[in-house]
Amino acid sequence: MTDFLKAKLSRRAILQTAAVGAIGIDPALRAVVYAAGSDAPEKTEVKIGFIPLTDCASVVMASVLGIDKKYGVTIIPSKEASWAGVRDKLVNGELDFAHVLYGLVYGVHLGIGGPKKDMAVLMNLNHNGQAITLSKKMAEKGAVDGAGLAKLMASEKREYTFAQTFPTGTHAMWLYYWMAAHGINPLKDSKVITVPPPQMVANMRVGNMDGFCVGEPWNHRAIIDGIGVTAATTQDIWKDHPEKVLGTTGDFVKKYPNTARAVTAAILEASQWIDAGLSNKNKMAETIADKSYVNTSVDAINQRILGRYQNGMGKTWDDPNHMKFFNEGTVNFPYLSDGMWFLTQHKRWGLLKDHPDYLTVAKQINQIDIYKQAATASKTPLPKSDMRSSKFIDGVVWDGKDPKKYADSFKIKA
């Protein structure tokens, strides 16, 4: 065995011991309990795709800490190159689950942004923690926020290019909502391109785009590298917004319901572990910075997960609404209203030609019953309702009660 492998194995053992100490249950004991009952996972080894982003952390840590074993499953994290690749591998069964964009799952279910396939959302993986980055050249001309961008685009006419990570995904919807809130029609006033998250910084460096919306650590990486500034965080757009989810296909859930529950419970417990304190967050940052996961420096990850922000122009602030993975269980529940919101935006921006049956689609996709079972197994608190109310950057409130009216209410749309 090489020294490198010994180091990796000993590090894993240390982290697993820390996890057991934090949660206080012997993993071998729980594995026996689950294996003995009729609710034993039908499939004991599962491949979970992820994109190199900070918010893949709960999937990675469930594996690295050995929390998966407590529920009778072994998680094999699989690093993927793009969201389109994740979509294709989920649909064809190469991946069992994925750390995936909320809106991508909904798009595939309805046959937009890819082949039509019944899909499932098992849990929300994180709230907040994405951002909109504008190039340093734009910032030097006054485009340091939404108002500044609108003013520059109005006074200096040319083709402006902005990047998101997938047409039906979360970053496209945050970017469009933010631009529209400042009077810019993203589809008519600019060119929008799709770029995989790890390639954002390199593309901005060579001048391929004026701005982008992506998950961390790539916004902070742009600041470290001196090529971009943070114009807005996504929590500015929607405080405690849903972001990545644990996604799979409808067929997988039907065939392997116990496996789906076990994996959800394991990742819930890993989420709990991450948010339990500063030490755990630092261990998480050190772990996922490794080249086998996010492949960046620890300093690109560990500031913003603690809410320590800088905008690349000298401003620093502490943001209480930073990326969260558990937050006493409020992060992870797959609210029907959250899923419905993405459908309203798909309709707004012309991705859906007609209004879907918003609530029915959300109930088909979001696996509330499996989540509740996993929450009970992992001692995760449950909310009182399957819906929630949220206020956006423009003051508009979304509560899921009249999605058709809400989707039609926007002045700026496709």
C-alpha 223/C-alpha 133 separation (Å) is 9
Strands 308-310 and 316-318 turn out to be antiparallel
State yes or no: pLDDT of 325 exceeds 80.
yes
46/27 Cα distance (integer angstroms): 18
Q: Which of 24-33, 73-82, 319-328, 394-403 has the lowest mean pLDDT?
A: 24-33
Given pLDDT bands bounded at 50, 70 and 90, which one contains residue 16? low
pLDDT of residue 13: 53
Question: What pLDDT score was predicted for residue 113?
Answer: 81
Cα of 46 vs its chain's centroid, Å: 20
Summarize the confidence of residues 199-208 as an average pLDDT.
97
Percent of the chain residues topping a pLDDT of 90: 90
Q: Is the pLDDT of residue 6 over 70?
A: no
Neighbouring C-alpha atoms within 13 Å toward the C-beta of 143: 22
pLDDT band at 321 (very low <50, low <70, confident <90, very high): very high
Q: Which amino acid belongs to residue 294? A: V
Task: Name the β-bridge partners of 171.
Answer: none
Q: What is the CATH number of domain 3-126+243-307+322-339+352-386?
A: 3.40.190.10
pLDDT score of 12: 52
- The pLDDT of residue 41 is above 90: yes
d(CA 72, CA 32): 8
Q: Is 398 helix (H, G, I), strand (E, B) or coil?
A: strand
The tokens for 366 are: 């979001």
Residue 80 backbone class (left: φ over 0; alpha: ψ -120 to 50; beta: rest): beta
pLDDT of the residue at 15:
55
pLDDT digits (tens, 9 = 90+) for 241-275: 999 999 999 999 999 999 999 999 999 999 999 99
Task: Calculate what percentage of the chain has a pLDDT beyond 70.
Answer: 91
Pairing of strands 397-398, 390-391: antiparallel
- The average pLDDT across 367-382 equals 97
Residues 6+ apart with CB under 8 A from 273: 19, 22, 23, 61, 65, 67, 280
Query: pLDDT higher for 108 or 23?
Result: 108
- The pLDDT tens digits for 95-111 are 999 999 999 999 999 99
**Ranges assigned E (strand) in 41-198:** 45-50, 74-79, 97-101, 119-124, 130-135, 161-164, 191-194
Read off the pLDDT of each residue in 200-209 and give the average, rounded to a whole number. 97
* Residue 123 in tokens: 């849990």
Radius of gyration of the chain, Cα coordinates, nearest whole angstrom: 21
Domain boundaries of the chain, sorted by first residue: 3-126+243-307+322-339+352-386
Task: Evaluate if residue 37 carries a pLDDT over 90.
Answer: no
Task: Assess whether pLDDT exceeds 50 at residue 187.
Answer: yes
Q: What's the whole-number average pLDDT of the chain?
A: 93
Structure tokens at 212: 């982008």
Q: What is the residue type of 62? A: A
Which one-letter amino acid corresponds to residue 142?
G
Alpha helices in 229-357 (DSSP H): 234-237, 250-255, 257-274, 278-288, 298-301, 336-348
pLDDT at 28: 39
CB-based contacts of 363, cutoff 8 Å, min separation 6? 336
Answer with the residue of higher pLDDT: 2 or 156: 156
Are 93 and 47 in contact by the 8 Å Cβ rule? The answer is: no
Q: What is the DSSP secondary-structure string of 31-77?
A: HHHHHHSTT--S-SEEEEEE-SSGGGHHHHHHHHTTHHHHTT-EEEE
Looking at residue 21, its pLDDT comes to: 42
Question: Would you state the pLDDT for residue 22?
Answer: 44
pLDDT at 29 over 70: no
